[in-house]
Structure 1
Amino acid sequence: MKLLASLLLIFAGGAYAAERPMQLESVGLENISDMFMPPVSPAVSLLIKAEPVQPEERYFNAYILKAVDYLYSKYGLRGYDINSILTHDIKYHTYGVIPARHAPLTMCVAAQMEVILTAYEIYSRATGDYSVYAYLPKSSFEGLSVTDIKGHIWVNPKFNANGTADALINFGMGERRTFENLKPGDFVNINRTTKTGHAVTFIAYINSTGKVLPKYDPASVVGFKYFSSQGLLAAGKGGFDYRYAVFSVFGCPEMPYKRDCNVIYSADQKMLNTGTMTSPKFWTHVAPKIDADTAADTVLNPDFFDGITTDD
């Protein structure tokens, strides 16, 4: 009690001087605690505004385009062959090697797979993020079943896979983009009036002279520039290269570039398959399942993917 009395004498003045004297016998430790505690401030709510995701962060286009540049400079025009896959063996990080078949020859659907695998490597080295290789097993780029992404890139309507864009979407790695909204580094699968087709990487829209346009303009666009493997078997006459696709409704206008005419324009994704690849942190981990309709492996159609374009 002597301690309590001393404390009360010390704080008897000031703010407490005008108050009614406190009865000593009513003082406890809780009263003293109240005297020393500062007034409680009203709670302050902090609103944390999420930063918007920028397109270059959400999409993989920058790495796809770097892969295109690399493959063209190092493996361009080595020859086209429908029975060949990959221009060179590709290391799948620490999981082994995806072997090439008849390197350095390759064909169009394999070209798109090689673009993706090369973009993997460029991305991993640039960022230090090698988790891309854990998303799908190496075998997914080698097998042709419904659970293998290669089986979808090779095109199989029974898998709901009409092109590379569908393949990426089916495995949670891509999004749909209509033709009018494509960006450089997106993927397109075409059908022609000649009943042939092609798998390509979109580079840019073009006008009737082959001039590259900065964006889609319905009054000017007649087609698009793309990158893939096409042409003839001989080196220098086929393999990784660029072409200028022209929709059949515009005929086949002269231009100082190798053309790919008779391409069918359609809003039907079965005829003109279009879409983009998302960045790894946006992959959703969805995966196709085997059922009675998808039990059989994909079989590549060599007559459809014949590799021949207008000026070959």
Structure 2
Amino acid sequence: MTILLLFTVPLKAGTLERAPALRDISPETIAAAPVPATDLRPAAAASTKAGPLADERYFNAYVLKAVDWLNANYKLLGYDISSILTHDIEYHTFGTVKARRPPLTMCVAAQMEVILTAYRIYAQETGDYSVYSYLPKRSFEALGVNDLKGHIWVNHDFNSYGTADALRNFGMGEETPFEKLKPGSFVNINRDNGTGHAVTFIGYINSTGAMQAEYNKTVVGFKYFSSQGLAAAGKGGFDYRYAVFRDFGCPEMPYKRDCGVIYSADRKWLNTGTMLAPKLWKGAPAPSEAGLFKDTVLDEAFFGGRTTDD
């Protein structure tokens, strides 16, 4: 029996209205975003530290190795919304995922490049190349409902509001509340100016930008890795930023900031999650029937790339 996979769109509680599309985000919808009325933080936040057995469930260590490698080899080569990947990437024996207009790249493509780089490092270190058989190469090239790339690029009709949702939809990840994120998780943000970003979570920060080992009452945001900034080399591309939630203003710190980020427990506004270790991937979903959904079209205005200090 063939199972037909349908990606449904979450509805607002108590209504039959669709959640706002990226193009519909405005000052009015931002003002209506569900944000806690008082303190953003729960009184007793769970530690982001986990024991060795818990860590083995996740791919974070390889994601962080990929971040380090990309930062060392492809840092600040330029941001461009129409470019994908800083370089061609071999998909084991299945061919090459081709870059478009390298070495420039943009934020959602940056997260795909982090994942593909983590694949390579994992396979080389462990000798387990089965990660390349889980999804076909075209899943990192096409933008349909049956393609991981189509979900990473964000498509609400696919029930994907970010990289974390994309990984969950393909059995490769799980939802994780912001307060429980570990370095190497994935986050998609919305800002109060109507723009957004796709990033790799590096760690929590306080109001001076100092890293925090775990979530606590001093946390005002987080450090991340992605591609952002300007097109010129040295002024944009792969780099770190320090995201600050809008309730905390835009405090001075000796790092490039990304202020006005909307905190919310609603995944449509702050999309957070963790990639599972390959041994725990749940199996790729059965293909959806062709024609049920239109391919993803990147919202270029939403993912424009500029952050506060660019």
* TM-score bin (small chain): 0.7 to 0.9
Is the Cα–Cα contact under 8 Å of residues 158 and 294 in structure 1 kept in the other structure?
Answer: no
Measured after TM superposition, the shift of residue 295 of structure 1 is: 1.7
Is the Cα–Cα contact under 8 Å of residues 79 and 105 in structure 2 kept in the other structure?
Answer: yes
Residue in 2 that maps onto 1:100 = 99
Which of 1 and 2 has greater Rg? Answer: 1
Residue in 2 that maps onto 1:271 = 269
Quick one: structure 1 residues 206 and 283, their matched pair in 2 at CA, closer, same or farther if it must change by over 3 Å? same
Residue in 2 that maps onto 1:201 = 200
- 1:188 and 2:182 are equivalent in the alignment: no
Q: Calculate the TM-score normalised by the size of structure 1.
A: 0.82
Q: Which has the higher contact order (CA 8 A, sep 6+)?
A: 2
Alpha-carbon distance between aligned partners in 1 of 2:133 and 2:286, rounded to the nearest angstrom: 17
Residue in 2 that maps onto 1:17 = none
Is the Cα–Cα contact under 8 Å of residues 205 and 214 in structure 1 kept in the other structure?
Answer: yes
Q: Which moved more, 1:192-201 or 1:283-292?
A: 283-292
Alpha-carbon distance between aligned partners in 2 of 1:207 and 1:294, rounded to the nearest angstrom: 45
Q: Which moved more, 1:175-184 or 1:289-298?
A: 289-298
Alignment size in residue pairs: 260
Alpha-carbon distance between aligned partners in 2 of 1:290 and 1:137, rounded to the nearest angstrom: 15
Identity of matched residues, %: 70
Residue in 2 that maps onto 1:126 = 125
Residue in 2 that maps onto 1:249 = 247
**Cα deviations across residues 112-158 of structure 1 (Å, max 9, x unaligned)?**
00000000000000000000000000000000000000000000010
Is the Cα–Cα contact under 8 Å of residues 206 and 213 in structure 1 kept in the other structure?
Answer: yes
Is the Cα–Cα contact under 8 Å of residues 77 and 233 in structure 2 kept in the other structure?
Answer: yes
Residue in 2 that maps onto 1:86 = 85
**Cα deviations across residues 268-300 of structure 1 (Å, max 9, x unaligned)?**
001000000001110001416435995200000
Alpha-carbon distance between aligned partners in 1 of 2:309 and 2:278, rounded to the nearest angstrom: 38
Alpha-carbon distance between aligned partners in 1 of 2:290 and 2:147, rounded to the nearest angstrom: 16
Is the Cα–Cα contact under 8 Å of residues 134 and 284 in structure 2 kept in the other structure?
Answer: no
Measured after TM superposition, the shift of residue 102 of structure 1 is: 0.4
Alpha-carbon distance between aligned partners in 2 of 1:133 and 1:289, rounded to the nearest angstrom: 18
Residue in 2 that maps onto 1:222 = 220
**Cα deviations across residues 26-52 of structure 1 (Å, max 9, x unaligned)?**
xxxxxxxxxxxxxxxxxxxxxxxxxx9
Residue in 1 that maps onto 2:56 = 57
Residue in 1 that maps onto 2:28 = none
Residue in 2 that maps onto 1:307 = 305
How much is the aligned-residue C-alpha RMSD, in angstroms? 1.3
Residue in 2 that maps onto 1:298 = 296
Alpha-carbon distance between aligned partners in 2 of 1:293 and 1:61, rounded to the nearest angstrom: 35
Q: Calculate the TM-score normalised by the size of structure 2.
A: 0.82
Alpha-carbon distance between aligned partners in 2 of 1:135 and 1:168, rounded to the nearest angstrom: 12
SS at match of 1:198: strand
Residue in 1 that maps onto 2:148 = 149
Paired letter, 2:133: A
Paired letter, 1:154: W
Paired letter, 1:222: V
Q: Which moved more, 1:281-290 or 1:59-68?
A: 281-290
Is the Cα–Cα contact under 8 Å of residues 185 and 203 in structure 1 kept in the other structure?
Answer: yes
SS at match of 1:228: strand
Unaligned 5+ runs, structure 2: 1-50
Paired letter, 2:115: I
Unaligned 5+ runs, structure 1: 1-51
Paired letter, 1:148: D
Paired letter, 1:267: A
Quick one: structure 1 residues 294 and 309, their matched pair in 2 at CA, closer, same or farther if it must change by over 3 Å? farther
Is the Cα–Cα contact under 8 Å of residues 135 and 284 in structure 2 kept in the other structure?
Answer: no
The runs of at least 4 aligned residues of structure 1 exceeding 6 Å deviation read none
Quick one: structure 1 residues 92 and 268, their matched pair in 2 at CA, closer, same or farther if it must change by over 3 Å? same
**Cα deviations across residues 184-218 of structure 1 (Å, max 9, x unaligned)?**
0000000000000000000000000000000000x
Residue in 1 that maps onto 2:66 = 67
SS at match of 2:64: helix
- 1:159 and 2:145 are equivalent in the alignment: no
